[in-house]
Amino acid sequence: MMRFLQWLHRWTSLIIGMQVMIWLITGMYFSIAGHRTLEAHQYRQQTHFHDALQSASTGTAMVPLKQLPLTANTIQSVSVRLVHGVPQYVISTERGTEYFNASTGALWHTSAELATQIAQAGYRGPGRVSHVSAVANSDELYGWQGPGYRVNFADDLATRIYVDRASGTIVDHRNRLWVFGDWAFRLHFMDYSGGRNFNHLLMVSAALFMLWFVLSGLILLGRNLVRGDLNPRQRPSYLAFFQQHEQPIASACGGGGTCGLCTVRFSASAPAPNAADKRLLSDSELAQGIRLGCQHRFDAKAKVSVVNQGAQQLNLVLQHKRQLSPSVSELTFTCADRAEPFVYQAGQFLQFKIPTANEHEPLRRNYSFAAAPSRMPNNTFMVAVRCMPAPKPGLQPGVGSSYLLGLEPGDTVVAEGPMGEFLLTDSNISQRTQVFIGGGVGVAPLRALIQSELKHTPARPIHFFYGARTPEELCYEQEFRALHAQGVVHYHSCVSEASAHAESTATEHFEPTMVHELAEQWLAHQHSNHVDVYVCGPPAMLRATLAMLDQLKVPAKHIKFDDFGI
Amino acid sequence: MTKRLNARRWRSWHRWLALLVGLQMVLWGVSGAYMVLFELPFIHGNHLVKPTHQSVIAPRTAEQFAAVAQRFPRATQITLTSLWLNEQPRPVYHITRRGKTQLLDAQTLQPITLSADAISAIANRTYALGDAPLAQLTLLTENAPNEISPSLLPVWQANFADSGSTSLYFSATTGELVSKRHTYWRGFDIMWMLHIMDYDTRSDIQNNLLRAVIIGNALFMFTGVLLIIVTIFRRQAVRGRS
């Protein structure tokens, strides 16, 4: 969930990141410039209409309204004011606002000279008028229809004042700095027309992306705070500590508290078990001071050791590579530089260190031994690797399997082990029927377990239910058929997909069947208390099988499973 | 290896800056989204009001304008308009002298003092959202509420019992509508305050706190950009091997 959130945060940042930078830079510009500069009002002089209408200079009487050349019929309001000493009628009608000279009764006319005087009255800067030009409208005045005059001043800001011709009033000031501010507004509001509208679709979309971006960041920050990532004195977990100190410790989930492999033992005063400890460890283990290494932080005062003490680092050399099925290969490694034999049990696994760009943080991938120790020479091991093709074109194939399958005889790889508790039950305790249920490459540890069981005389009754997608994908098929023929292993296989080659290999029915259904048909007629069940296969198969066993009321303590370390 | 260590250090910086200045980035995102998502005319409350009447000045009244105007030689601006009074539109004069405005009846040229009832009638006709549930009408002369400019005083505050807690403000001298406020405008004002980080006057965009936090956030974003680059770089390195 959090990983997904992190991924989404990262990709949203690619979409919105550039605009966030623009918002910050333009925001900084606004803050440095301030309102007055952004409005180009540095040299503006407020010009209220503060002269009395009839001073000595404007002694003449006002022309009555009916003598005005009005084009509209109805008047909504009438005003009179002084514009640069001349009384002006402002008449608002249903057709808009009209302006007249109240002394002459003529339609108001702003000459270039008058516009210059009006502009000068509204200016308090150091410059003089440098140029006056009549303009129809201006790019610098969004929404002003014009026409009017642009009065330029020779000052440090290259001030220009626009005067509306119809009313004789100043529209606004503009200058060199205003242009920067205007571009900042265009970029900040993402309205590149200059209209400074921030309610448009592009801006709304950007705002929603931004909202998601900052909220996902906030959630991730909260997670970091809760985890203590920002605590400078935070100590590593025992899992991280042992990994950093090159002390072999099993882990499949990388510290997520879900695989239950990284067990450590506290010799005294073990910390209280948390939810993950309780879920994955037995009561007796908890009582012995065993905890999950990833769930507890390093404490120099505590005496802690890795439970799986037998694990060692092995320098492996690939000896032999054999194709078991179209997608599964069997790799045989030797450990040439060891004098004493490496001890392990059937059902356990090795953790391979797959090199990455960072030599200190290799990928760790688990592979089960595919043969019992008794069947192999000393210091020689066999694993089965399934080629994980890219799920989709463009995505990368499985990194671990690609690396191992790319090795050639003579190549070396480092692994740690043995690890894992997927072992046969003690025949002194249980004389129950041994039932193995496997899917695909999950055959590997089951094969080792079956070989190990067959070493005993007499062996307990063995049933092996094995399923794959197609007949070709059934590994070690001939070997198990031979054991079946000898009567030492009851071998039941099935495939889940109908195959074109069905008749060529079919000695049994190859109706598409799921392996848990096949096992269920047999188990349904057995006493659920009289079997030990070992399950290994891909996640969906494992889930279905465990659900089936639960339904048949096979006691949980008689079920062991290996989940490929997923 | 050094690349990876760098990534770890930048990640640490990214997290610390997130804590120090990143929370303001969240506030910018939230306040910005608010201001962007609600249309500005809606925030301004244009939907709350309508004209009280169709404004028309009778020709006889208009003809007298010049003559009336000459009787107030010291005025700086004279306006003839109409106002909803006594259940009908009435022509009135606004005479402005030294920045102060007086309201006169256009027929009698006598000063008009607007009563609470007169403002109440105007407020009810101005309010555009259904039957006007005018809840409270208060004359404010001394202290303006924070949501309007003190230069508008004296002013009538008309509060409506609607979902947006609408307040319409009418000039006590002329009866004109001078301000419209409602919940979303008030929300916008708070968002603007959060956006510019001026918690006092809500108008100073040049404060040093804002500038410092902008610079901090620019650094914050810079560490984020580096993380992105490093992440992509690392992915490609892994792909190259597999």
Give the per-residue SS3 of A331-344.
EEEECCCCCCCCCC
Residue B30 at interface with chain A, using a CB cutoff of 8 Å: yes
Other C-beta atoms closer than 10 Å to the C-beta of A233 total: 5
- With an 8 Å Cβ cutoff, are B211 and A204 in contact? no
Look at residue B4 in the predicted model and tell me its pLDDT. 41
List CB contacts (< 8 A) between B15 and chain A. Answer: 221, 224, 229-230
The pLDDT, as a whole number, for residue A307 is: 77
How far apart CA A267 and CA A301 sit, in angstroms, is 11
- Please tell me which residue of chain B has the smallest CA distance to A404: B242
The residue ranges of every structural domain in chain A are 2-40+180-219, 56-174, 238-303, 312-419, 433-562
Whether the Cβ atoms of residue A317 and residue A411 lie closer than 8 Å to each other: yes
Per the CB < 8 A criterion, the answer to whether B91 and B114 are in contact is no
Instruction: Give the domain extent around B192.
Output: 2-41+188-241
A 298-327 residues inside an 8 A Cβ radius of B: none
Fill in the DSSP letter of residue B177.
E
- What is the helix (H) or strand (E) element at residue A8, kind and residue range? helix A2-38
The whole-number pLDDT of residue A545 equals 93
Q: Do B76 and A230 touch (CB under 8 A)?
A: no
Detail the DSSP E strand segments found in B18-148.
77-85, 88-97, 100-105, 134-140
Both tokens of A204, joined, read 């709304």
- Indicate if B16 and B90 belong to the same structural domain: no
Question: Is residue B118 located within the same domain as residue B33?
Answer: no
Superfamily of domain A312-419: Translation factors (2.40.30.10)
Angstrom distances, CA of residue B166 to CA of A175, A305, A542, B34:
40, 70, 63, 19
**Do residues B103 and B200 both lie within one domain?**
no
Residue B2: closest C-alpha in chain A: A358
CATH 3.40.50.80 fits A433-562, yes or no: yes
What token pair was written down for A186? 């265009």
Do B124 and B25 have their domain in common? Answer: no
| CB B179, CB B191: distance < 8 Å | no
Tokens of B24: 């303001």
State the Cα–Cα distance between residues A163 and A174, nearest whole angstrom: 12
Number of domains in chain B: 2
The answer to whether the CB atoms of A360 and B1 lie below 8 A apart is yes
The rounded distance, in Å, linking the Cα atoms of B52 and B55 is: 9
User: Is-contact B17 B158, C-beta < 8 A?
Assistant: no
User: Mean pLDDT in each 10-residue stretch from start to end of chain A (566 residues)?
Assistant: 78 90 96 94 80 62 84 87 89 90 91 94 93 93 91 95 94 94 95 91 95 92 81 76 75 66 82 84 80 84 76 86 90 83 86 78 84 88 84 68 88 85 83 92 93 88 93 91 92 82 52 88 90 91 92 89 66
Half-sphere exposure of B121 (CA within 13 A, CB side): 12
Nearest to A363 by CA among A296, A294, A413: A413
Domain end point (choices B132, B163, B181): B181
DSSP reduced 3-state for A50: coil
Interface of A with B in 45-74 (CB under 8 A): 48-54, 61-66, 74
Residue B41, amino acid:
P
Q: Do A25 and B218 touch (CB under 8 A)?
A: yes
With a CB-CB cutoff of 8 Å, which residues 84-113 of chain B face chain A?
A: 98-99
Q: Which residue has the tokens 């507890």?
A: A296
Q: How many CB pairs under 8 A join A and B?
A: 190
Distance of CA A169 to the CA centre of its chain: 58
Candidates A62, A66, A78, partner chain B, best to mutate (most B CBs within 10 A) = A78
Inter-chain residue contact A361 with B4, CB threshold 8 Å: yes
B168 and B53 within one domain: yes
Task: Give the chain A residue whose CA is nearest to the CA of B225.
Answer: A17
Q: Specify the pairing of strand A462-468 against strand A490-495.
A: parallel
C-beta separation of A327 from A474 below 8 A: no
Q: Which residue has the tokens 């640069």?
A: A84
- Best residue of B65, B217, B233 to probe chain A, by most A CBs closer than 10 Å: B65
Residues A354, B241 contacting (CB under 8 angstroms) = no
* Closest CB from B56, B211, B217 relative to A31: B211
ipTM for the whole complex = 0.89
Determine the Cα–Cα distance for residues B166 and B44; give it in Å rounded to an integer. Answer: 11
Whether A385 and A405 have beta carbons less than 8 Å apart is answered as: yes
Cβ count near A427 (within 10 Å): 14
Contact B161, B135 (CB under 8 A): yes
Whether the CB of B62 is below 8 Å from some CB of chain A: the reply is yes
CA distance to partner chain B, nearest, from residue A68 (Å) = 11
CA distance linking residue A490 with residue B26, whole number of Å: 64
How large is the C-alpha radius of gyration of chain A? 43
Contacts of A229 in chain B (CB under 8 A): 15
The pLDDT of residue A297: 83
End-to-end Cα distance, chain B: 18
Final residue before a domain boundary, out of B132, B165, B181 = B181
Positions of chain B with pLDDT lower than 70, given as ranges: 1-8, 132, 231-242
B37 and B80 co-located in one domain: no
pTM, whole model, 2 decimals? 0.63
Give the pLDDT of residue B241.
Answer: 28
Same domain, B144 and B220: no
pLDDT at A510: 60
Q: Which two tokens stand for residue A515?
A: 């392996």
Residue B224 to chain A, least CA–CA distance (Å)? 8
Between the CA of residue B72 and those of A54, B104, B177, what are the distances in Å?
9, 12, 25
List all residues of chain A from 443 to 462 with a beta carbon under 8 Å from chain B: none
Position A149: which residue type?
A: Y
Helix B23-37 and helix A201-227: axis angle, to 10°? 150
3-state helix, strand, coil in chain A (%, to 5): 35, 25, 45
B51 and B161 share a domain?
yes
Residues in chain A within 8 Å Cβ distance of B22: 217-218, 221
Q: Which of B181, B216, B232 is the last residue of a domain?
A: B181
229-288 in A: which are within 8 Å (CB) of B?
Answer: 229-230
Residues B205 and B92 in one domain: no
- Cβ–Cβ gap B19/A23 under 8 Å: no
CA distance B160 to chain A (A): 28
Cβ density class A77-92: b for 16+ within 10 Å, e for less = bbbbbbbbebbbbbbb
Do B98 and B10 belong to one domain? no
